[in-house]
Chains A and B, each alone.
Chain A
Amino acid sequence: MRLRLEPRREASRAMLYGTPVLAVALTVLAGILIFSLMGYDGLAAIYQIFVAPIADPYRWQDLFVKAAPLITIALGLAIGFRANVWNIGAEGQYIVGALAGTGVALATWDMEGYWILPAMVAAGILGGLLWAAIPAFLKTRFNVNEILTSLMLTYVAVQLLYYLMRGPWRDPEGYGFPQTRLFSEWQTLPTVVQGTLVHLGVPVAFFLAIAVWIVLSRTVTGFQVRIVGLAPQAARYGGFSARGTVWLTLLTSGAFAGLAGIFEAAGPFQQMTPQFSVNYGFTAIIVAFLGRLHPLGIVLAGMVLAVSYVGGENAQTALGLPYAATGMFQAMMLFFLLAVDILVRYRLRVVVPADLSRPAEARHPHIRQADEGSRTSSTPLDKQRESLSA
């Protein structure tokens, strides 16, 4: 008796929604096991990481504030990923967006007016967009791999941040510490719920999720993105330009990342510091996949990640669980998610071997056939996209 994967004729809807739950469940089980082996109370650790932050209403604001930039960036990335455009440099776009907005803030630090914050946000969006325009240009003009260019540009952005913080933008009254002055009242993001830290970026993230959902499922542009990703040749026949899609998706994801950057700078940070880069851009890639590239899935995934961050801190204070365990835990969650993903397209069958002497291929001729056919375009998510958009 053995287990065998059989391709499904169409992606399983049940599995599409079930697998993330399964992945989280597997992560929880593995977590209990590993933490227990490490000598901690495994159940209590999982409770602290996954349940305590949700059970405590005082933690909710933290979850929203932590999730907002992840969701915003992941939404932009997901649009590109659907079209097979792999922007993995969102971290750089996030930084440059924040820097552009900070530039406006520093130029207007002694001014007053309602226009200042919108100007900062606009600069932030533009900064992220322009940083993403570099890989877009190189991809469309010279066919340079956008995965590599966008990644390289992230490290350029980080150095740019360091340079500005240590040099020209350093707070003149800050005792030489490499960070900018604090933003003024006119330059900081308003909170939307009084008495909490929930800033404007939170409702905007949720609003963007709905907007992206509508655009992707109800508009021609959404269709174009999907069709270019699913069947590039069909898209060409249909008159959709691959180049145009590269520009559209990269600029959009750059703009989203830039927006998240300036929101984060003008909101929770209220200044720019060299510690600004905390890998939200990379974590957002995980969020995008955890959310199955679907806007609503991304909102959920962003919240799950936020829970695991806040919960990781809980576990540190409550149980002395090292922070590294949280990182490993998040990686495991992604591993499991990526692993169970295959169940959307394949069915797990228990096979009782009939005649082991025959070669495998002769035994199961259909596998071979199906496998040949299964390589449609290039991402494993193609099939589920189809069903998602249905």
Chain B
Amino acid sequence: MNRRQILVGSAATLALPALIGRAAAQDGPLNVGFVYVGPIGDYGWSHAHDEARKKAQEHFGDKIKTNYVENVAEGPDAERVIRQLAQQGNKLIFTTSFGFMNSTIKVAKQFPDVHFEHATGYKTADNVGIYNARFYEGRAVIGTIAGMMSKSGKAGYVGSVPIPEVVRGINAFTLAAQKVNPDFTTQVVWVNSWYDPAKEADAAKALIDQGCDIISQHTDSPAPLQAAEQRGVYAFGQASNMIDFAPKAHLTAITDNWGPYYIDQIQKQLDGEWEPGNIWWGIEKGLVGIAPYNDIMPADVKEAADKVKNGIASGEIHPFSGPITDQSGEVKVPEGDTIPDEQLLGLDWYVKGVQS
């Protein structure tokens, strides 16, 4: 007897209907579901996904109907919401936060005929594909700009949580800046939150107080940018073009453009050609964008940034090409090598010049 069934008999009086195998039959538009971890008003991660959803809806018109649930807590709430979307007849469901991974896999098992797309995770199944963006490519572009624009050669980096995603960004940024200025250093302050405007602003100010004259961030709010504007130093936007928040400080931004991917996957679903993929797209496919440069940037800086951007897009430049030494001075990647994707996915060490 399976341990999980011990109590079945005694509680059978509750007689709840089993949950498997019921998904509303439908004609008409394809229903596509989206699950967001934050409110769409966060102006960061979830906001960017919702903008992409709107683009997809616009693109397909009445061929599809998009449904979303915002501010879904990672854990059982997510599982319930995902299952609900599946039961309501959504045939393709995008779950847009790492913390939805286990819930997505669990629900996917119960709905074999529904397709799931999970962002930033690493578990797949026959009906679960994963997708992520190579944001670190964008970090290399802004790192190049930082290396040229910084007088002190010292950048401040407002970090959220030290997961590989963020570590990659810090390293790519620093490596790119060091190609311009070999002595370039990056000082990281962790705020241990993706979203806490007041703390993010305070972190940026603390970094500026320490002599950092350019601020980069891997948190969701425009607060560090506004702090930079107030203090008269440069900074970069996150997730979307944030020039309105800091017209003088905002040099450019790494933008999350999930739109092309969503349109691509929905098209495949419509054509009956959806397959579980493992997609990690970057600048080349337009998933990672670079916002228009601020006019205060000198022409040679714009040119250098474009060169890196285009080089990455064409594959000529890899942000993690050797030689790369870590903080202790040990050579991690010899000249001529690059860090392979499998290692990038679990990256947990910092390159020389990063102070964290």
Which chain A residues have a beta carbon within 8 Å of chain B's beta carbons? 57-62, 65-66, 114, 162, 166, 175-179, 182, 185-186, 190-198, 200, 203, 264, 267-271, 273, 275-276, 278, 310, 313-314, 316-317, 322-324
Contacts and interface: CB of A to CB of B under 8 A. Distances in A.
Interface residues on B, range: 35 or more
A57 B14 CA distance: 12
B58 interface: no
Given A176-B346, A191-B7, 18 more contacts: A62-B80, A65-B80, A166-B161, A176-B167, A190-B3, A190-B4, A192-B10, A193-B8, A194-B8, A198-B11, A203-B11, A270-B102, A275-B74, A313-B81, A313-B84, A317-B69, A322-B70, A323-B69
Interface in B134-175: 161-164, 167
B196 to A, nearest CB: 12
B75 A276 contact: yes
A175 B99 contact: no
B346 A60 contact: no
B167 A192 contact: no
15 contacts: A59-B84, A162-B192, A166-B161, A175-B345, A176-B163, A177-B163, A190-B7, A191-B4, A203-B11, A269-B76, A275-B73, A314-B84, A317-B68, A317-B69, A317-B84
Interface string B35-58: 000010000000000000000000
B88 interface: yes
B233 to A, nearest CB: 29
B102 A182 contact: yes
B59 to A, nearest CB: 19
Interface stretch (B15-23, B214-222, B266-274, B303-311): B15-23
B67 interface: yes
A133 B164 CA distance: 40
B161 to A, nearest CB: 6
A196 B79 CA distance: 13
B80 A313 contact: yes
B60 interface: no
A317 B88 contact: yes
A356 B10 CA distance: 69
A267 B22 CA distance: 24
A119 to B, nearest CB: 15
Contacts of A66: 80
Contacts of B73: 275, 278
B122 A200 contact: no
A170 to B, nearest CB: 10
